[in-house]
Amino acid sequence: MSSTTFRPDRLDVRAFAQNAAQLSGEITLSKLERLAQDLYRQEADLALKTVNWQASGESVAVTGGAAQSWLHLSMQAQIPLQCQRCLQGMTHSIETEHSFRFVKDEAEANAQDDDAEEDLLVASKQFNLLELIEDELVMALPFVPVHEVCPVPVKLQASSEEYEAALNEKPKAFAALGELKSVLKKAKP
Ligand SMILES: [Zn+2]
């Protein structure tokens, strides 16, 4: 079987591993529906933004057992997101490399999941690699995207240090008010 017969949307993962085959591609972000929901559209034309990915298969011999099928997946993408501090657009760079081992079925995955350091996937002759790529991208997104340094001054947002300082200021302000009141009383005829 030549590597040209492998399709990323219907991948025979065991054959892919046994052939030590390789696949790579480019997907526009707008085609990844689940991911696209989280993206910042105003500034970025999602149709022009792409994720680049490379996959390779590996068959690992096991003494006294069936060979293991592995999939190594790398991805690179620049993801447009909205900063939750200043609400401007920002770019989140993703560069990941993951290895997955295929197991026979869900039961085997559950049985081995606790002991395995690698991620386990259920083997299939029609494995959707594109779905895995989207899963990985969604998981690589920050929970709360924020700029390291926002490009514009942020209004109505106190840093925790400023908040602390404001709390400490309060008693002083009240004390000052108290002093003012007593001064006013004294000033009254
Ligand atoms: Zn920001």
Q: How far is the CA of 83 from the centre of ligand 1 (A)?
A: 5
Q: How far is the CA of 148 from the centre of ligand 1 (A)?
A: 7
Domain count, the chain: 2
Torsion of CA 146, 149, 150, 155, to 10 degrees: 100
Please report whether residue 153 resides in a domain: no
* Average predicted confidence (pLDDT) for the chain: 83
The per-residue pLDDT for 114 is 82
Q: How far is the CA of 81 from the centre of ligand 1 (A)?
A: 10
Quick one: pLDDT band at residue 3, thresholds 50, 70, 90?
A: very low
Q: How far is the CA of 97 from the centre of ligand 1 (A)?
A: 28
Q: In terms of DSSP bridges, do strands 89-103 and 68-82 run parallel, antiparallel, or are they unpaired?
A: antiparallel
Non-local (6+) Cβ contacts of 30 within 8 A are 36, 46, 47, 49
Neighbours of 170 (CB within 10 A): 9
> d(Cα 4, Cα 16) in Å, to the nearest integer?
11
Residues 112 and 181 in one domain: no
Residues 172 and 85 in one domain: no
Q: How far is the CA of 80 from the centre of ligand 1 (A)?
A: 12
Residue 30 has pLDDT above 70, yes or no: yes
Neighbours of 38 (CB within 10 A): 15
> d(Cα 128, Cα 121) in Å, to the nearest integer?
11
Q: How far is the CA of 158 from the centre of ligand 1 (A)?
A: 14
Please report whether residue 55 resides in a domain: yes
Q: Tens of pLDDT along 136-163?
A: 999 999 989 999 999 887 765 555 566 5
Residues 165 and 82 in one domain: no
Could you give the percent of the chain with pLDDT greater than 70? 77
Non-local (6+) Cβ contacts of 78 within 8 A are 49, 91, 92, 93, 94
Q: Is the dihedral of CA 36, 38, 40, 42 positive or negative?
A: positive
Q: How far is the CA of 149 from the centre of ligand 1 (A)?
A: 7
Q: Tens of pLDDT along 86-109?
A: 988 899 999 999 999 999 999 988
Q: How far is the CA of 139 from the centre of ligand 1 (A)?
A: 21
Residues 97 and 132 in one domain: yes
Q: How far is the CA of 87 from the centre of ligand 1 (A)?
A: 6
Q: Tens of pLDDT along 173-186?
A: 555 555 555 555 55
Q: Find out whether 36 and 139 touch, Cβ atoms under 8 Å.
A: no
Domain of residue 189, residue span: 158-189
The per-residue pLDDT for 70 is 97
Residues 116 and 170 in one domain: no
